Amino acid sequence: MFKFLIVIRPLGLLYGSAGAFLSPENLVGRSGAKFPPDAGTLSGLILATNQEQKFTEHQELKTNLAVAGAFWAESDHPENFFVPIPRSRIVGEKNKDFDEWSLINHKWERQHPDLDPEYQWQSINSWHKQTPQLKRPEKGKLNDVGKTPWEFMPILHPYLKDDEKHVRDRDGLFLENAVQMREDSCLVYLSTHKLPDGWYRFGGENHIVEITSQAITEHSSILKLLKQKIGRSFALITPAVWGSNNLSTRYPNDVRFSNKRPEMLTDRPEPWRYRVGKGDAQNKRASKLSIGRYAVPAGTVYVVKHPLDLTWWDFPPEWFASGEGLPLRQFGCGLCLPVEIKIEPKVELKVD
């Protein structure tokens, strides 16, 4: 079970991925931009920080370490972090703008199909609230739902000369895709192990961040929620890669799912990638492997025929793909929480 909150406060700008391609509308490579850094990035930092341990201790850490995220929170209240809101909940801008998807006669329906969601994140402490009870931000103060606290921006970077710290005389500047977080916000990850508090290089461009580890107590509402068993319906709060190493599936290959295909409320798959191994100057490709798959996005809602009666920690290992010996559970793959879905058979009235 997760025992720590890893809280990351950027000291300046961070960087997202450069993106998949350029286009006239996307001159700085925003297409496919990815932020925040996923759980694999933090896992690598924890393992690298503990490399000086004895071999057996380091191997035990590598085997037992599990990290999930990324989430975000207000800097003063990291324990009430925000997770992706289930797709079954629609929260608009005005107080009366809300809606919920219901499963009626195996079809997803809602009352206000024209209402667009304005909020993408929900605080962990409000997870069990009914949708109409969710409070929107007021006068700059966060409540139960929130919007993404970071924005992408292009910034100019210099190309330095090979032999001195001066910008090249020709083509000396290039655009890079930077990310700026609100000053009062921070990134939050769940972890089984902690990092010593301090400043670290983190993310794609190794920018400096301040990291602190906060213990999750036995009586914490977070722990109680993570220990709650899942019944017929649940929502992902991190992307999920189900299936084998060679084939990604939309749900686990298990009799509890395949006998009656689960009802899903989801969006299009998203790329999911991480690197394993350690590179060297002579043979980087042989010692470093980049693994890419498609993942079911966070926020996806599942409804199964029979209650699972399991927590995420109890999910069978074979549900998760394994990347070159690394179970994807260690990267928080498919972390989910129980969610209430209105399920009804459609009643037809008889007319005499």
The tens digit of pLDDT for each residue in 154-191 reads: 777 777 888 888 888 887 887 777 889 999 999 999 99
Q: Supply 219's token pair.
A: 């009586």
Pairing relation of β-strands 248-249 and 242-243? antiparallel
Question: How far are the Cα atoms of 20, 268, 294, 297 from residue 271, in angstroms, in the given order?
Answer: 11, 10, 5, 9
Pairing relation of β-strands 288-295 and 270-277? antiparallel
pTM recorded for the entire structure: 0.89
With contact defined as beta carbons under 8 Å apart, do 248 and 294 qualify?
yes
With contact defined as beta carbons under 8 Å apart, do 190 and 2 qualify?
yes
| pLDDT for 284 beyond 70 | no
Amino acid found at 340: E
> Which tens digits make up the pLDDT trace of 102-138?
999 889 999 999 999 999 999 999 999 999 999 999 8
Contacts of 183 (CB under 8 A, 6+ apart): 75
pLDDT band at 204 (very low <50, low <70, confident <90, very high): low
